[in-house]
Structure 1
């Protein structure tokens, strides 16, 4: 995924941002911009998903938009998700894009879906579990204000509203969110980010004695980090705790 939050640019956006037509032409000659369709451009750093969506004729939607905005999204999605407003048209019928046809509401931008709309698209497309993980990620990063929360409460189903009530704004990772979500119906006392003497902060503590650690893809692979994990687990055992440790693949796929 590219690091650009808004990699698809339209001529009107550039002109509204102070660009002149002459500057646009110069940017095309120098390679600062690349034209994909009439009036639609991307910078050189744009990822393949952004290019496919721009060719298709819409804006980033659903899980694709969420990832570009920095949210933790459950699973890997190869197919770009495209927001197609009513009255729009597809310019690339042979691509693998997933289309989302929903109209912007009053006061919403027609250029890209708002973050609450992106979360609603995730709910309808991928289900409440994926919605919950992305929603907690948005809350953790303080990306939702009071108006956004009210819009979501009014435009989501009862399952998503239940997920909102369970959510927290301090989830350390999507894996932690997923852990709490999947344990929610087992009548267990689950606390997250708990500091234990002699061990440190653990991902989750079930009851009084069971520690659960969930290790992300980028973490805990090196020999030194593995050694630290073993030392933590040994210290926890010395204090009477049992540690259950799961990696990214085990949580998501097993």
Structure 2
């Protein structure tokens, strides 16, 4: 045997004796747990590390204590482990919006053709009542001038402005009998009076203009009588018009 081998054997025997002596004072389980949780002060931690270099039993125990901290966590549990709550917020994994937002398929996918169709429907809904109202305002009857007396000429009967339920009577009256104001009387052929309005000033151009609401009239023959206001009513003019269905 060489001298070097003898020296090495002696050294190993000395280390074994020191190890056996050191293992007589094993650290408590609480000390090992504090070391595992990094709650042991630096001096005690250094002494424990020196002890662990010689004591295999304590080293094995420390390994067993470390195993539950290897993140073998049952993710079905609702409560987080305490050691995760002790971590600073920056070290905790934060879910991204893509992970937290549920992936749902949209009910509709609006393409260009569908958008144009939807816009047309909206315009139809908005303009429908307006167009219907304008249509209903058109004159449903035909109006004709049947007879006038010798004192009236020119003019006619029409609906103005176009699209409204208004009838305009317009005739040129040659002789106003010096009346400053006049009265308009309109009767049906059967004699029923539908209009009686007085106090109209004589027009400077001798042209009689009178507007009627068509809603007040029905298909019939109507006699229009113009009377000059005064002590005695004077007949200024008379004309007849019809409304045909």
Report the TM-score range of the alignment, normalised by the length of the smaller protein. under 0.3
Larger RCO: 1 or 2 (CA < 8 Å, sep 6+): 2
- Output the TM-score relative to the length of structure 2: 0.20
Which one has the bigger helix percentage? Answer: 1
Which one has the bigger strand percentage? Answer: 2
Larger-Rg structure: 2
